[in-house]
Structure 1
């Protein structure tokens, strides 16, 4: 038999075939193993989660609640519980504002962050919430929660479910027990989500039956009532409607001369992995309707990755989910396209055209189902194609059936008349008129609460302040008659790193209130106490008359409010703490960098305090050459390539990032850029390509420290950058949306009127100015500096120590 070469085509084919077969076998085995491992891990995860939830719901929550419920109910305590979101959402905002503005109740907030945090944190949040609720008179919710249902609720406490939608459209709760979307009845009964309610508010008598069914509530108890939906009251507020339209036009200026189509679909799938439909054809809409309409898109908030709008249609279509609320959009849209979302009920209040884009109706019906026949329910076009919708809109005048919308509104929204919130209060609260307070200016206080710290929630802070006051008063009464050390100065609980450094260098003792045994004797024997944040310890005790407390404001430039003028204080949401330790009660004097700034600072104390026009201690670091050298050495030690060029410092307090590529492209030869984000979560990763010129040092330095080495400062509208003007070096204010930035701030000055610096919205405009820095315009800059920062010259602490000796004599 003749020998065949290894290059023989037949042999090669055989070898390839065998290799391919072996590879396929191996790949098949590996794939099956990976699938098995994945299924095993998933199964173990679910089993672990079930064990975690069983223990939490069946044992830990009932135990924690019963223990806390041994204390009496606080008749004034009202608790708002957000189940998934880290802020007060729209379904509770109107109620929250009403109670905060017009009543003297003690309002607490809890954010469970269900599906949004790790198990240990979720457990802590749940237990903190139920402990607080155990002594509450009223509790408000807007979503179902097995945490709230696991409590063995005492009869004195009322839980009000405001719910997050109107009408009754797609099924939920018990109504989905036999459908793909829902859990089985046994699973829902094991850890019920809709239990313990005293009242469930709905938009119309028509839908009471559906909520009784979904929440497994006995209709004879009368818990579900057609009070109207609190959130819809806002649609009857003329001021809101006017501001909403102005806000839409501000952010979408191309909408001013056109009509607005709102596309707001609900999500698909389960909440944890929610997806949004992507069947609306923007190109078709643009080509057919672009001359007369703009298209604004608002995806459901649980959707994490909505599809992007193609760049070529940006002047016609825009995803406004992150910049406009659904209330603003519903009140300004001329046409609304949705599918199975309950927002169609709210939109019916405006009696404008509705289109139902139900291309997957059969699939959605099998998945979740509806309470009413979809075709009989929908008061507008039910479309399965883009062509149908476009054709309907083109002939909207003759095809729109307004009576159908009016009938729909009456059937499902008849209790939503603009007075639902007050009706709910009158239904639930016992003698609410006895808790009325005067309200001079109605404000939106729902923006005030922060996410409750899982470490120390508010109710626990109240307990801690009361305990601190009791222990401190006892200790202080025992030593307050001891001899006072004339001229002695201590610094208590100093927050600012710059102030700490200077205090140590000048022999000022740093004291912490966490150690009362050390702090109280020091307080009792000191003539002067320096603080740079409110002190519940000092405000909770009666200091001897000879002791004077000097407050160092948070920043040199008087940008943000910080005391009795803040929305947080005026809202009364921290009432219990301020009743125990009145804010700034102990403060005798405040430091200020100028007379004008001092007058603004005085407003924050709610009383007359002495103003010491000595400058601002934090800005002393700007003039400290030795400290500047230390900071530069630290920077150059880790980034030697930065040496030899001037330094631009970028400070961001709102998370807004600067364009690294643009900065590098134009400035890298002469400048380096050092970035500092005050929230480390906003710190950006700089490409290695730019690392010889651009470095994020957020984790190394505080803003004032970093600014001390700057030749030029750039930042959003923030106090550290404005304080940097005390150096006389160039400052650039930069933010992509000035109006949005200002709307989120509580300021002491009128930014647009009092700060004589331009505010840039395009970083390239800033770059142009830096390239021409020798012609920097100091005219408005110097006006602002001279008015608000006149005494910041690097000697503020020295000036303060020189003035302290005269305070007691003058007082």
Structure 2
């Protein structure tokens, strides 16, 4: 067992002890959001504030360092910044979870494992993506190099999910394999983070950059966090693309913290601190790779290109879904030359993009946040009506 697995094992034991100590706590009409990505939480918070009068419960937000940008929207709500490595923070977090009749979370948190065998609390996983091009959970190819104790711990967390929200039948199949869940656990309310794409408003960022916008939003490589590759150079933007485009780069926070050298220039800007949905609405073109961003960008029916310079390596080390190249709405381009050729050779196929979006966003119709909050209300009322 390596040092990381050993630490996780002790972490899990500590949580188990806290679960025993706090077991007598009574769950109240309270919903807790356990958040590490801002998008779903932002949608749910806005919907809660809009419909609070018709809901019988209060909301508390537990958020990690990756979601600190939510702080400005937490006015009127209970909230707690959670440092998962702080033992006292974990005490507070378990107490909050146990006092809640419903918990909505957006990621793999070992913390939710304390909710196993706690029927008075419903745990709902919304996940941080409405589609997936890479394997995760029980399907993750790196699991073959992990000790059995790690896999057992993963399954313990997945067992804490009473329900998992899905935006499509395609993603439902992915979750069944990745989390080992059953059909009855799938909540077909759509994905909250997609609601914003149904709002009719003009992208404000267009005013900041008058040129056409290419947004580059790559996934992170956990086996190589110190580097990344841009799809185009300044020279290519100026010459091959005639100076018509700005290249905006949205990096994963884990990668951004590892990059020391600046890659910005007159036509290339680092926009990693800006909200994704604002950038996607403003973008004329998306370039990505194995990220889940295409699934929500497809709702806007604009061109997507795939810069997959390390396709074979990524598939081997991290794992892609079966038939990746036939699933994506476009061609996998191994270098900048192929990418430029794809961008300039033919017209955008809007029908192909719509088919892709309809497949992966079939249940996401603009009211997913409200539907999920109402579902939580229904579950709480059933708990109240159940015989003691």
Partners of 1:190 and 1:359 lie apart in 2 by: 34
User: Which of the residues 214, 225, 232 maps onto 1:274?
Assistant: 225
> Aligned to 1:149, which of 113, 124, 146?
113
**How far is 1:276 from its partner?**
4.7
Per the alignment, in what secondary structure is the counterpart of residue 238 of structure 2?
helix
Q: 1:183: Cα distance to partner?
A: 3.7
Corresponding position of 1:187: 150
TM-score by length of 2: 0.84
Partner of 1:405: 353
Secondary structure of 1:210 counterpart: helix
Listed as ranges, the gaps of 5+ residues in structure 1 are 1-42, 434-811
Structure 1 distance, partners of 2:147, 2:170, is 27
Could you tell me how far 1:51 is from its partner in structure 2? 4.6
Summarize deviations over 1:544-589 as a string: whole Å, max 9, x none. xxxxxxxxxxxxxxxxxxxxxxxxxxxxxxxxxxxxxxxxxxxxxx
How large is the Cα RMSD of the aligned pairs? 2.8
Match among 39, 46, 54 for residue 9 of structure 2 = 54
Q: How many residues matched? A: 362
Equivalence for 2:71: none
- Counterpart in 2 of 1:576? none
Partner of 2:77: none
Task: Confirm or deny that 1:293 pairs with 2:245.
Answer: yes
- CA distance in structure 2 between the partners assigned to 1:216 and 1:287 by the alignment: 50
Look up the match of 1:130. Answer: 94
Offset of residue 291 of structure 1: 2.6
Q: Does 1:355 align with 2:305?
A: yes
Q: Could you say which residue in structure 2 is the equivalent of 1:72?
A: 26
Which residue number corresponds to residue 204 of structure 1?
Answer: 168
Tell me if structure 1 keeps the 8 A contact 2:57–2:377.
no
CA contact (8 A) 1:112 1:125 kept: no
Displacement after TM superposition at 1:340 (Å): 0.3
Which residue, out of 103, 121, 134, partners 1:139?
103
Q: Which has the larger radius of gyration?
A: 1
**Rounded Cα–Cα distance in structure 2 between residues aligned with 1:431 and 1:190:** 27
Counterpart for residue 284 of structure 1: 236
Map of 1:108 onto structure 2:
60
8 Å contact kept, 1:100–1:107: no
Residue 72 of structure 2: aligned partner: none
**What's the CA shift string for 1:417-454, capped at 9, x where partnerless?**
10111222233322889xxxxxxxxxxxxxxxxxxxxx
CA drift of 1:186 comes to 4.4
How much has 1:321 moved relative to structure 2? 0.9
CA distance in 1, matches of 2:145, 2:289: 20
Q: Which residue of 2 aligns with 1:460?
A: none
Cα 1:215–1:276 shift into 2, 3 Å: farther
Out of 286, 290, 294, which is 1:340 matched to? 290
CA contact (8 A) 1:180 1:368 kept: no
Query: Aligned in 2, Cα 1:181/1:265: closer, same or farther, shift over 3 Å?
Result: farther
Cα deviations by residue, 1:611-670 (Å, 9 ceiling, x for unpaired): xxxxxxxxxxxxxxxxxxxxxxxxxxxxxxxxxxxxxxxxxxxxxxxxxxxxxxxxxxxx
After TM superposition, which residue ranges in structure 1, 4 or more long, deviate above 6 angstroms? 116-120
CA distance in 2, matches of 1:106, 1:119: 23
Partner of 1:381: 331
Matched with 2:365 is: 417
| C-alpha spacing 1:276/1:105, structure 2 compared with 1 (3 Å) | farther
Query: Shift of residue 335 of structure 1?
Result: 0.7
Q: Give the Cα separation in 1 of the matches to 2:222 and 2:9.
A: 25
Counterpart contact for 1:274–1:302, Cα < 8 Å: yes
Deviation at 1:363, TM superposition (A): 0.7
Whole-angstrom CA distance in 2 between matches of 1:352 and 1:120: 39
Distance 1:362 1:51 in 2: 31
Whole-angstrom CA distance in 2 between matches of 1:195 and 1:112 = 22
Change (3 A) 1:80 1:380: same
Q: TM-score, normalising length from structure 1? A: 0.42
Question: Which of residues 232, 235, 241 in structure 1 aligns to 2:194?
Answer: 232
Counterpart-to-counterpart distance in 2, 1:79 and 1:279: 39
The 3 A distance-change label for structure 1 pair 184 and 56 is closer
Distance 1:158 1:166 in 2: 21
Change (3 A) 1:388 1:119: closer
Name which of 408, 427, 430 aligns with 2:375. Answer: 427
Structure 1 residues 232, 142: CA separation in 2 closer, same or farther (over 3 Å shift)?
Answer: same
C-alpha distance in 2 between matches for 1:74 and 1:193: 23
Structure scoring higher RCO (CA < 8 A, sep ≥ 6) equals 2
Secondary structure at the aligned position of 1:262 is classed as strand
| Mapped contact 2:116–2:159 kept (Cα < 8 A) | no
